[in-house]
Amino acid sequence: MMLERARQRLRSAQRVVVMTGAGISAESGIPTFRAAQTGHWARFRPEDLASPDAYRRDPETVWAWYAGRCRGVQAAQPNPGHLAMAELERRQGKGFLLVTQNVDGLHQRAGSRRPAELHGNLTRARCESCGLKQPLNAQEPFTPPSCPHCGTVMRPDVVWFGERLPPLALAQAEAAFSSAHIALVIGTSSLVEPAASLALLTLDTGGTVIEINPEPTPLTPLATFSLPMSASRALPALLEGWS
């Protein structure tokens, strides 16, 4: 059985890297960026809500959009997939890195310690002048805050259209996938670069790639094991029987 073979391979691996995408958080009720564009927000182009130009032009509208999304993720709860991921990190110890494309912070709330966030985190604000980051409380008045250190108007700590991924997070991800014995790719379409090609680094160096996704993706025919399951089912199942 493919699940059992993947479980055995994972159990014996010393270095494990994981990539998670929107699929793992969808089970907690978190919509994707475009799925969240309903009602009033449906009339906006994505670039009108998530780009540096949009923020310079109309910061209040951009913050109103992120306020709604932030309230949604703060009301959501980690699901069994998030919890199993935190348990996998605990068992693997130093030979583990979680890389996520999600911006909802649910991995941290489930117990994951230091995920590499490729797209940032919408529950934080960031100052572009001095680099200060601070958490947001979406239940309080949600307007563009000023940096308490230098006074500059802060922005959501997320990667916008036209911006590069955080260099440190990307470098961590590339190093981990290049040296991993096992790469788990969970709930991602494997379409958005450069994240989509990271699993190929593991395959190129002789490692094993386990894909978890109910739907086929471009990675499916290349993966060592492809489990057509939800994250909340597959991840706990992969950890079954571990001491």
Active site residue 119: yes
Beta strands in the chain (DSSP E): 16-20, 96-100, 116-117, 120-126, 133-135, 155-158, 182-186, 208-212, 225-227
Which amino acid type is present at position 64?
Answer: A
Distances (CA, A) of 115 to 97, 104, 124, 192, 238: 7, 12, 15, 19, 20
Beta strands in 69-153 (DSSP E): 96-100, 116-117, 120-126, 133-135
State the Cα–Cα distance between residues 46 and 119, nearest whole angstrom: 15
Q: Are 181 and 14 in contact (CB under 8 A)?
A: yes
Omega of the bond leading into 194 within 30 degrees of 0 (cis): yes
Q: Catalytic: which of 40, 82, 107, 119?
A: 119
Q: Are 24 and 213 in contact (CB under 8 A)?
A: no
Which amino acid type is present at position 232?
Answer: S
- Active-site residues: which are they? 119
